[in-house]
A and B are shown apart, each in its own frame.
Chain A
C-alpha cells in the first residue's frame, strides 16, 4: 500500500547480486542452451561450429546409457524422496510427542546433516564392502553382521543391490533436514487443535491425518519441492557410495548428472559427428526441463491440496 517514488533504491539492493548472477548463472545457462543446439561445438576452442540443430538431443535419446542414467535418477527421486519424507514425518511426530530425551534424540537425528556427505558416503561404501576374492580382505560390516558374502557396491553388484544401498544412503542423508523442518513446523501448530481433538476423543491416527498433516501441508509441499529438485541433481551420493576411488563411476550406475559430467569430459566428435560436449549440454538441458516440469506439477498439486 505504501507508494514508492523511487524504484532506483530497490535496484541498488539488487545491483551486485544480480551482477554476479548474470555472470555466473544466467550467462552460462543461456550458453549451455546454445551449445546443446550447436551440435559441433568445440569445447577446447570454444567454437560453436557450423550447425544449429537438435542432433545432440536425438543423440542422447538414442543413447541407452542416457536413458539408463535418467532411470537411475528417477528411481532415486521417486523412492528416496517420498520414503524419506514419510519417515521424517513419523520421526518428527514421535519426537514431538515425547518429553524426556527429546533434545538428545533431536541431536542424534541431526548428526547426518553436519557430516561431510562424501566422507559418510565412503563409510557406507566400506560398510557394504565385499572382497571379490576370498581371503585378501575383510568382508564389510553388513556382510559380517548377516553372515553373507554379497557384493553390494562392488563391480559385480546387481542393479537391485547397489540401488538398495544408494537408496538407503540417500534416504538416510535426507532425513535430518526434513525432520528438522517438520519439528519446527509441528511446534508452530498451536496446542488448541490437539486439545480440541482430545475433547472430541479423536483417535491418534485421525489426529495425524485430519490435523497434523493438513496443518503441516505447506511445509510438506515445500519439502517435497525442494528435495525433488535436489535429488534430481544427485551425483556425489552415488559416486561416493557405489564408486571406487581412482576409477570412474560404472556407467550402469550413472545418474543424469553423472552422464553430463562424462560427456563434457570427452572432447571431439562421436561417430555421427556430434560433439560430446553438446551432448552433455543437451543432457543438462533435458534434466533442467524435467526438473521444471516436476516442480510445476508439485506446485500445481500443492495449490490444490495445501491449506495455507
Chain B
C-alpha cells in the first residue's frame, strides 16, 4: 500500500523536475528585485539621521508610485464608506481611539471606521497585515514600525501620502506640516530619496534615565550624563549597599542599538553599491561596547530585563531599595510610580527623569521609537483612500495628539499640541512637589515629554529593510547571552563574544 504511495510521490516529484527543465534558469549574478533597488540610492551611512532631514531628489526612483489624487477631487459624502484600522493598542489607548471614531463619525457621517486590535505585538501585526495583503484583505490604516512598512512595500501595498498631503482642500498646509516635530515627520520620508511619504508619526517615545530623586539628593549625586559617570555612582552605591544592583536597563535590544550608535559602531545600514539593507553589527567597536557593559553586569552594577527574570527593572526600582536608576521607555513613564506600594510612596519615594547617558558628550544618541500610522493602497478606490486619509489626519491632529499623550506618557507629535486647551489644563494640574501618586505621575510625564523635546536632535533611527526587525531582536538576545555568560577569564570571554557575534550575524543573514 504505502509503497504505492512512494511511487505516486516519486512520479509527482519527477514531473516537477521535468517542469524545471522547461523553465528559465538563473544567471549567476542577478540584480536584486524592486524594493532593494528603490532604496539603492539611499544614504550610505549606517543610520538615517533624522534631525537633519535628508535632501529630497524628486527624480530619484520611488519606493511606490505616488497615488494620483487630482487637485479637484471632492469627497463624495453621499456613499457610505467603511475603513479598517488595525493596531495593537492596550485597552486604555484603544478606548481613546474608539472615542475619536465616534467624534469623527459626527464630522463625516458617511465614513465608518472599524478599529481592531489584531495582535499582541507589532511583529504579529505586521505578519497579519502581510498575510492579508497576500489575500487582498488588507486594512486601510495600520499602526506599526518602519520595517513593517518596508515589508509591505515589497508588495507595493503602502499608499504614498504625498498627493493627499498636497491636496488643497483635504491636505495639510505647509505650516501644518511644519507643526509636526521635524524628526518624526522625516521618518515618514525615510524610505527613499524621492520624498515619498509612507507614514505619519503617531505615538512616539524615547528612552529616559529614571532615577530615585531623593536618594540622589541625599547622597549628592548629580544626574549622570555619560555612562562612566553613571557607573561611578553605581559603584559608590554598591560600596554602600553590597547587595544592591544600582542600575537597570529595560530593553536589551535598545541598549545594543543605542550604545552601538554612541560607540560609533556600525549596526545596520544600506550598502552603498547595491543599496540593499545590510547587517553590520559584527565589528570590534560593538564588541568593545558589549564588553563595557558586560563588565558592569559582572560587577553587579547593572541588570537588564531578561536578567531580571523578564520583569521590568522598574519593578525593583519601585521598592525604593537596591536599584536606584533605570533606563526605560518614556511611553511607560507612569510605571515609575504605578505599582509602588503606598508605604514606599509616603516614605518620600520620588522619580526624576533625564536624557539617556552617552559614551562621550560629543556623541549623544537616543533611540526614537514608537509606531507610525501607515495607509495601504486600496486599488483605485479614491474615495475610500481619501476617507482613510482624513481619519489618519484626524488622529494626528493637535487636539488628539495631546489627548493621547497625557495619560500614556507618549510625546505629542505636534508643537501646537502644547497650545491646546487640553494641554494647558493638564499643565495647570501639575504641582511642584506632588503628594499623591497621580500628581507625581503627571509631573513625571511632563518632565519626560520635555526631555523628549529637548533631546529630539539626538534622535536616530536605524536602516529599514526586510531583516531589520530580525536583527533588532537578535542583538537583544545576543546581549542577554553575553551578559549571562559566566566567563572563566578575559580570553574565554573574548572568544565567547566573538563566536556569539559570528553566529548571530550568520543567523540573521542566512
Contact = CB atoms under 8 A, between A and B. Distances in A.
Interface of A is mostly: loop
Nearest to A49: B33
Contacts of A51: 23-26
A43 interface: yes
Given A42-B154, A131-B309, A296-B2, A65 B473 contact: no
Contacts of A135: 243
Nearest to B5: A292
A16 to B, nearest CB: 23
Interface in A86-135: 129, 131-133, 135
Interface string B343-358: 0000000000000000
A267 B9 contact: no
B187 to A, nearest CB: 21
A195 to B, nearest CB: 36
A52 B20 CA distance: 6
A132 B133 CA distance: 41
Interface stretch (A170-178, A214-222, A246-254): A246-254
Range, interface on chain B: 35 or more
Given A33-B16, A155-B477, A136 B308 contact: yes
B155 A44 contact: yes
A117 B445 CA distance: 43
Contacts of B490: none
Contacts of B485: 156
Most interface-central of B19, B30, B156, B297 (chain A CB within 10 A): B30
B90 interface: no
A266 interface: yes
Interface in B1-58: 2-3, 5-6, 9, 12-13, 16, 19-20, 22-26, 30, 32-33, 35-36
A34 B309 contact: no
Nearest to B151: A267
A169 interface: no
A39 B27 CA distance: 13
Contact of A295 (B2, B13, B22, B156): B2
Nearest to B27: A51
Contacts of A247: 473, 477
Nearest to B3: A296
A260 interface: no
B127 A265 contact: yes
Interface in A238-294: 244-248, 250-251, 265-271, 273, 276, 292
Nearest to B133: A44
Interface in A130-168: 131-133, 135-137, 151, 154-156
A55 interface: yes
A50 interface: yes
A37 interface: yes
Contacts of B133: 44-45
Interface in B472-502: 473, 477, 480-481, 483-486
Interface of B is mostly: helix
A54 interface: yes
A64 B503 CA distance: 10
Given A39-B26, A292-B9, A136 B307 contact: yes
B92 interface: no
Nearest to B35: A268
B24 A34 contact: no
A68 to B, nearest CB: 10
Contacts of A267: 130, 151, 154, 466
Contacts of B12: 33
B6 A292 contact: yes
B130 A53 contact: no
Contacts of A273: 26, 30, 32-33
A251 B466 CA distance: 18
Contact of A136 (B19, B316, B506, B510): B316
A135 B306 CA distance: 14
A273 B35 CA distance: 12
Most interface-central of B16, B156, B157, B473 (chain A CB within 10 A): B16
A74 interface: no
Contact of B466 (A151, A246, A268, A295): A268
Contacts of B297: 133
Nearest to B473: A248
B245 interface: yes
Contact of A132 (B6, B13, B306, B316): B306
A46 interface: yes
Interface of A: 33-34, 37, 39-40, 42-46, 50-55, 63-65, 129, 131-133, 135-137, 151, 154-156, 244-248, 250-251, 265-271, 273, 276, 292, 295-296, 299
14 contacts: A34-B16, A44-B130, A44-B133, A44-B151, A46-B134, A52-B22, A133-B245, A137-B308, A245-B310, A246-B310, A250-B477, A251-B507, A266-B466, A269-B33
Interface of B: 2-3, 5-6, 9, 12-13, 16, 19-20, 22-26, 30, 32-33, 35-36, 121, 127, 130, 133-134, 151-152, 154-157, 243, 245, 297, 300, 303, 306-311, 316, 465-467, 470, 473, 477, 480-481, 483-486, 506-507, 509-510
